[in-house]
């Protein structure tokens, strides 16, 4: 009897392990498929992503991880403002998995998508009404504060700052202890500053940025908020530059750099430092301050060699050093140092588009053709 029980136990244990391993493998496969769909969306091929999503649903029909995979695919659709596709996928979840946890998320998701769609379609009154209705219909849903925050962000993208603040106030008043209440508070402060940028009240912009860094010093969203403000100045600078208004563009680029430099100096532990340095480097280039640009690109690369634009930052560092030496021959950066950086681009990022350019520059420097 003991041997029989032991053998049964062993068989059961082996079956359990094999089942667990198979399930893990299946979940790994479905996770890979879901990630690939998001990559296709990021590349802008939405017809292909829709087909791939339908294939995912068919291929993994019996996989218990499918509802979650559909959910995160759908959220990516929302991030890309593909609201019709998002609502289609949410409906599939409701129809196929009505008792699943993600069905409740899908119901809220459909309402959220409609409100965001209305915002992006510039139907602001209807969008506000949709947000109000969603807040009532899903008042007990744990994802409601986040959903309201997503709608508020869309209002910001459309420069509808009063509507944005209206939605943020709902979060703060109704969910004061929720993590998204803190995001809403800094969101409201950001909306105030952005509105001042739009009306070109730069004195109040400066005061508003000071208030942000003072009142939200410990807020994890401060760095992102400051980056957004800097991006608004940069976009304005690029628009002025395109219109041939170089002096006015310069003013905007200087304001952008001023904000990003505060992120770099006052929030050194932020994981957004590589982005802040990269952005500052681009604006310093626009301003013709090539040594500062090179140092900013270097800081971005050194902080995170895996940063999405790390290859460019490394190449731009050497390129800006070259330009700085052309205008300031007495700077301490040597030609050998510049060549060393170009070699690093070629070695570390051989498949990057900048590796070819770096190789050309390196050849020119070594053969004295430049």
What are the structure tokens assigned to 64, written together?
A: 């218990």
pLDDT for 331: 85
Share of the chain residues as helix, strand and coil, in percent rounded to the nearest 5: 80, 0, 20
Cα atoms in the Cβ-side hemisphere of radius 13 Å centred on 103: 7
pLDDT of residue 366: 83
| pLDDT tens-digit readout, 265-308 | 999 999 999 999 999 999 999 999 999 999 999 999 999 999 99
81 token code pair? 């403002």
How many angstroms separate the Cα of 98 from the Cα of each of 94, 147, 324?
Answer: 5, 21, 63
pLDDT tens-digit series, residues 53-109: 999 999 999 999 999 999 999 999 999 999 999 999 999 999 999 999 999 999 999
Can you read off the two tokens belonging to residue 208?
Answer: 């508003």
Q: What is the pLDDT of residues 166-212, one digit of tens each?
A: 999 999 999 999 999 999 999 999 999 999 999 999 999 999 999 99
| Rounded-to-integer distance, Cα 107 and Cα 104, Å | 5
Q: For the segment 133-154, what is each residue's pLDDT rounded down to a tens digit?
A: 999 999 999 999 999 999 999 9
| Three-class secondary structure of residue 164 per DSSP | helix
Tokens found for residue 343? 């070699």
Would you list the domain boundaries of the chain? 15-97, 134-201
From the list 319, 327, 332, the residue with the least C-alpha distance to 365 is 319
267: which DSSP letter?
-
Closest alpha carbon to 97 in 67, 74, 75, 73: 67
pLDDT at 192: 96
Integer Cα distance of 75 and 81 in angstroms: 10
| Inter-CA distances, 241 with 83, 247, 278, Å | 34, 8, 20
Domain 15-97 coded CATH 1.10.10: no
- CA-to-CA distance for 301 and 84, rounded, in angstroms? 39
């Amino acid at each position: 009897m003991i041997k029989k029980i032991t053998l049964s136990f062993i068989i059961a244990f082996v079956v359990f392990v094999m089942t667990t391993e198979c399930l893990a493998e299946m979940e790994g496969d479905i996770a890979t498929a879901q990630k690939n769909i998001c990559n296709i969306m990021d590349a802008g091929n939405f017809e292909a992503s829709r087909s791939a999503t339908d294939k995912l649903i068919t291929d993994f029909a019996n996989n218990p991880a499918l509802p979650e995979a559909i959910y995160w695919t759908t959220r990516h659709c929302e991030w890309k403002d593909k609201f019709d596709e998002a609502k289609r996928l949410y409906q599939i979840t409701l129809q196929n998995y009505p008792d699943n946890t993600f069905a409740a998320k899908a119901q809220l998701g459909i309402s959220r998508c409609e409100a965001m769609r209305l915002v992006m379609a510039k139907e602001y009154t209807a969008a506000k009404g949709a947000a109000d209705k969603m807040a009532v219909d899903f008042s007990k849903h744990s994802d409601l504060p986040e959903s309201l925050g997503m709608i508020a962000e869309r209002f910001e993208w459309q420069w509808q700052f009063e509507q944005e603040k209206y939605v943020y106030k709902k979060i703060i008043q109704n969910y004061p202890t929720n993590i998204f209440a803190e995001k809403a508070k800094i969101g409201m402060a950001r909306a105030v500053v952005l509105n001042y940028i739009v009306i070109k009240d730069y004195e109040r912009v400066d005061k508003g940025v000071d208030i942000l860094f003072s009142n939200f010093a410990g807020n994890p969203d401060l760095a992102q908020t400051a980056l957004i403000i800097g991006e608004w100045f940069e976009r304005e600078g690029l628009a002025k530059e395109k219109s041939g208004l170089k002096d006015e563009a310069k003013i905007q680029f200087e304001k952008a750099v001023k904000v990003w430099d505060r992120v770099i100096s006052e929030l050194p532990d932020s994981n957004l430092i590589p982005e802040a340095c990269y952005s500052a480097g681009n604006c310093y280039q626009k301003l013709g301050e090539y040594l500062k640009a090179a140092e900013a690109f270097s800081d971005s690369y050194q902080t995170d060699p895996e940063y999405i634009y790390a290859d460019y930052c490394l190449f731009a560092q050497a390129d800006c050093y070259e330009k700085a030496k052309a205008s300031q021959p007495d700077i301490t950066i040597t030609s050998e140092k510049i060549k060393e950086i170009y070699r690093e681009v070629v070695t570390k990022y051989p498949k990057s588009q900048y590796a070819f350019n770096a190789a050309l520059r390196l050849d020119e420097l070594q053969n004295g053709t430049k």
